[in-house]
Amino acid sequence: MPRSLRLGLSLALLLAPACSPAPATPVPPASDALREFTATVQLANDPHGKQFHGVLLQPDDGEAWVVSYQPEPWLAAFADQRVRVTGEPYTPEGQALLRPHLRVHTLALVDPSRALTAPFVISVGPEKSLRGTFTDEPGDEPHRVFTVEGGATYQLANAPDDARPGQPQQIVAREVELAPQGARHDGPTLWVLAIQ
């Protein structure tokens, strides 16, 4: 078989799974133990809409890890930045890219002074499910908070459209640390990933 045909077939096999990506938030079975490494966050961008549109972590040495099949906003805050990451490798179900996959546990900028874009996130903690209520706080700078049932009140790094202030809601979120230029209010801060 001619070399150019072999290269073309190899490229087609590598890219073919990207045409039908796995779900944006896979819930695969756990595989290996938690890993910790340094990497650069890469947002894939295909203007023609036929390739991978997600987020990769490119370690200093080794193959890139797929961490999302969509450009998740909380990950976009780290675009092109070097980060320390802990995560759990997994094997996605169904069609997926032929790359290793990682479920991110924690992620933090190697150099926190590099938090250059709003909302100036410098680290994120593990994903957690919380039940509580969104409330609009009055004052010179009105803002929305989330109070966990029987617990803490959190500032919000993002403003979810489907929040219903005053009504109990179940959320999936990550606690984030903001750089001083991003922290407008005191207290712990959440990045809301989903309202269930």
Residue that is written with structure tokens 């078989």 in the block: 1
Span 31-53, average pLDDT: 77
What's phi and psi for 42, nearest 5 deg?
Answer: -120, 125
pLDDT value of residue 187:
85
Does 159 map to a domain? Answer: yes
Alpha-carbon gap, residue 23 to 37, rounded angstroms = 25
pLDDT value of residue 61:
84
Tell me which amino acid residue 186 is.
D
Which band of pLDDT confidence, cut at 50, 70 and 90, is reported for residue 18? very low
CATH of residue 188: 2.40.50
Instruction: Check whether 183 has a pLDDT greater than 60.
Output: yes
For the stretch 111-126, what's the b/e string if a residue is b when 16 or more beta carbons lie within 10 angstroms of its beta carbon? eeeebeeebbbbbbbe
Which band of pLDDT confidence, cut at 50, 70 and 90, is reported for residue 17? very low
Does 115 map to a domain? Answer: no
Residues 138/154, Cβ–Cβ less than 8 Å: no
- Total-model pTM: 0.74
Does 41 map to a domain? Answer: yes
Report pLDDT digits (tens) over 59-104: 988 899 999 988 888 998 899 999 999 999 998 888 777 789 999 9
Does 4 map to a domain? Answer: no
Span 19-29, average pLDDT: 38
Report pLDDT digits (tens) over 143-160: 899 999 988 999 999 988
Report pLDDT digits (tens) over 100-118: 999 999 999 998 887 777 6
Q: Write out the E strands in 28-167.
A: 35-43, 55-59, 65-68, 82-90, 101-109, 121-137, 143-148, 153-156
User: Beta partners for 146?
Assistant: 134, 154
Which residues constitute the domain of residue 149?
Answer: 121-195
For the chain, what's the residue count? Answer: 196
Does 1 map to a domain? Answer: no
Choose the final residue of a domain: 110, 133, 157: 110
